[in-house]
Amino acid sequence: MGFNMRKKNIALIGYMGTGKTTIGKRLARKLGLTFVDTDAYIEKQQGKKISQIFEEDGEPAFRRMEETALKALMENENLLISTGGGIVLSEQNRKVLKERTFLVTLTASPGAIYSRVRGNTDRPLLQEADPYQKIVDMLRARKPYYEIGDIMIPTDELSEKICVERIVEAYQKS
């Protein structure tokens, strides 16, 4: 990155339940950025819940909506973008995130994720017989995509406050 080409937006990637919304809101406040959640953004654009989009339009249609949403958000600056867990499945999204944002990967163990998201009916990908095994399998499949972050933060090992401090420190050095 040339002289003073600091990336204007910060994006958080990671599996569901790793703390993207919680840490994202806190980080946005601390840095004076506008918090945007891609799922909430898509719900507002489409006028329906993500679970409804999955049900009525299917996952491929939702993934296209994610690409469109991310592209639109990149037209802005000073955003803290909390992404949906599967946004990294698209090569185009990975490229945009890597090139245009300071990219933070949040991680957590399958056990921590399970205890954070179990019983949440708004998670279309977990509506099955063995959600814990589904988490383990999806984490394994998505691992290489999540490893593209400029920094990785294990949210099950660190307090929210320390997670935020580490991200701020890394961002300011970037």
Which residues are annotated binding-site positions?
A: 17-22, 39, 63, 85, 123, 142
Place of tokens 């489409």: 46
Task: Detail the residues annotated as belonging to a binding site for substrate.
Answer: 39, 63, 85, 142
Paired with 6 in beta bridges are none
Query: What is d(CA 153, CA 146) in angstroms, rounded to the nearest whole number?
Result: 11
Q: What is the 3-state secondary structure (H, E, C) of 77-93?
A: CCEEEECCCCHHHCHHH
C-alpha gyration radius of the chain: 16
* CA of residue 129 relative to chain centroid, distance: 25
Q: Give CA separation, 83 vs 1, 47, 130, in Å.
A: 24, 18, 25
Query: What is d(CA 32, CA 80) in angstroms, rounded to the nearest whole number?
Result: 9
Task: Detail the residues annotated as belonging to a binding site for Mg(2+).
Answer: 21
Query: What is d(CA 173, CA 96) in angstroms, rounded to the nearest whole number?
Result: 21
DSSP for residue 33: P
Task: Detail the residues annotated as belonging to a binding site for ATP.
Answer: 17-22, 123
